[in-house]
């Protein structure tokens, strides 16, 4: 699809709406759409997103600010029509090849009413072009803006339904406010929250973000991390058994083993083959991931650190350890720790880990893990955010269906 997004400004201008619009634009481009951002001020921020600057879209353009001084006092200045016409003529060629236009806040705030009026005109005249009004803020319900809003046009454009346009808000509160303001049914307004760019926020580097997506781990919870090489003393067969049993409690549980086979024993390759066979026999192909299958030479320290930030818990089933650096790394990234009761590991984790024997029944260990995670408020909140508020999850569940519906 060919999609345009509009706001007064774009990055590097700092602002919540600018950030959301830019992340949404990159998301759409990464999912195969042709994306154009229209703004009054900004700089190119992604190679897959075309930025088109039209200076009069900027809410702080001198002509817009001069016009706004009169508008805030309830006066429509003579220059209003000329500015609106100029913006309208600038927008027409940009809309010629678009399928949909997403208006971020410009249909609900009075920061540039000539732009709002020009866009409303385009919405009425270009009926083949789908307009989506994406509301983060509503001027008419904000006490701080009351003195700057007046009955009649163009201010009423901010509290009227636009014929043929879809209404989107970022929260349930905004849905109720908009429904009351505009006089439409709440059910006709779609709530699509703002999201998080997980790779950027969690500072995922190298191959980590690509593997996270390609292995469909955004749909997994909880994610258990075994940041170890594939060697027999790591007792990874018990880890696979635990994941198999955990699926009775968490159907989407997964395990990520970050390391390749140990370099100093050629038998480690055959051990990996045994584990792959066990994975298949336990029907865990989509749940247990040996990153050695994708990065045979292993990951960098920075890439592994990203997995600590993505994971929900540390799982170490080792039969022996001289120290236990993953225990320290898990502590720094606030991961719950589930590990075998070895003196070296207990010396590091103390009473703050959940312990089991390397020979314990995986079903019993899984029950212990499920019991702890079931009462872990931090895990529950984190799982909710990862499953509902990553941009890709929002795209898959809400944004793409909306686009398919309106286009």
Task: Quick: pLDDT tens for 191-229.
Answer: 999 999 888 899 999 999 999 989 988 888 999 999 999
This prediction has a pTM of 0.85
What strand order describes the sheet that includes 254-257?
288-290, 254-257, 223-226, 313-316, 337-340, 354-356
Q: Tell me the sheet residues that pair with 316.
A: 339
**How far apart are the C-alpha atoms of 87 and 66, rounded to whole Å?**
16
Task: Give, in degrees to the nearest 5, the angle at Cα 16 between 15 and 17.
Answer: 95
* Residue 387: predicted pLDDT: 80
What strand order describes the sheet that includes 189-191?
49-53, 34-39, 2-6, 100-104, 130-135, 166-169, 189-191
**How far apart are the C-alpha atoms of 352 and 102, rounded to whole Å?**
49
Average pLDDT over residues 330-341: 95
* Residue 407: predicted pLDDT: 83
With cut-offs at 50, 70 and 90, classify the pLDDT of residue 164: very high
Helix pair 267-281, 236-246: axis angle to 10 deg: 10
The secondary element (H helix, E strand) that includes residue 368 is helix 362-374
CA proximity to 218, closest of 258, 170, 254, 194? 254
% of the chain residues with pLDDT over 70: 100
């Amino acid at each position: 699809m060919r999609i345009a997004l509009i706001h007064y400004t774009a990055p590097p201008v700092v602002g919540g709406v600018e950030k959301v619009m830019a992340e949404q634009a990159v998301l759409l481009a990464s999912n195969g759409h042709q994306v154009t951002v229209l703004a009054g001020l900004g700089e190119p921020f992604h190679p897959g997103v075309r930025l088109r600057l039209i200076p009069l879209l900027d809410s702080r353009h001198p002509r817009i600010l001069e016009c706004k001084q009169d508008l805030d006092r309830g006066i429509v200045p003579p220059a209003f029509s000329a500015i609106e016409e100029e913006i309208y003529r600038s927008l027409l060629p940009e809309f010629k090849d678009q399928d949909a236009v997403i208006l971020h806040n410009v249909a609900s705030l009075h920061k540039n009413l000539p732009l709002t009026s020009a866009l409303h005109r385009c919405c009425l005249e270009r009926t083949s072009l789908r307009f989506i009004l994406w509301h983060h803020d509503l001027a008419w319900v904000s006490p701080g803006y009351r003195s700057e809003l007046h009955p009649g046009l163009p201010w009423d454009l901010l509290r009227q339904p636009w014929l043929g346009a879809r209404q989107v808000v970022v929260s349930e509160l905004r849905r109720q406010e908009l429904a009351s303001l505009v006089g439409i049914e709440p059910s006709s307004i779609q709530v699509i929250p703002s999201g998080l760019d997980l790779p950027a926020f969690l500072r995922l580097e190298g191959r980590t973000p690509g593997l996270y997506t390609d292995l469909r781990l955004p749909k997994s919870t909880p994610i258990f991390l075994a940041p170890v090489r594939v060697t027999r003393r790591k007792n990874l067969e018990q880890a696979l058994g635990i994941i198999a049993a955990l699926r009775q409690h968490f159907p989407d549980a997964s395990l990520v083993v970050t390391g390749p086979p140990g370099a100093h024993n050629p038998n480690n390759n055959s051990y990996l083959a045994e584990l792959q066979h066990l994975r298949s026999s336990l029907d865990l192909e989509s749940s247990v991931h040996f990153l050695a299958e994708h990065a045979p030479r292993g990951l960098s320290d920075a890439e592994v650190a990203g997995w600590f930030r993505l994971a929900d818990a540390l799982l170490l089933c080792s039969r022996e350890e001289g120290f236990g650096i993953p225990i320290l790394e898990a502590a720094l990234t606030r991961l719950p720790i589930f590990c075998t009761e070895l003196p070296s590991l207990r010396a590091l984790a103390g009473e703050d880990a959940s312990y089991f024997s390397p020979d314990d029944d995986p079903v019993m260990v899984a029950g212990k893990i499920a019991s702890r995670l079931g009462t872990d408020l931090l895990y529950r909140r984190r799982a909710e955010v990862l499953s509902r508020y990553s941009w890709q999850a929002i795209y898959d569940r809400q944004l793409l269906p909306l686009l398919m519906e309106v286009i």
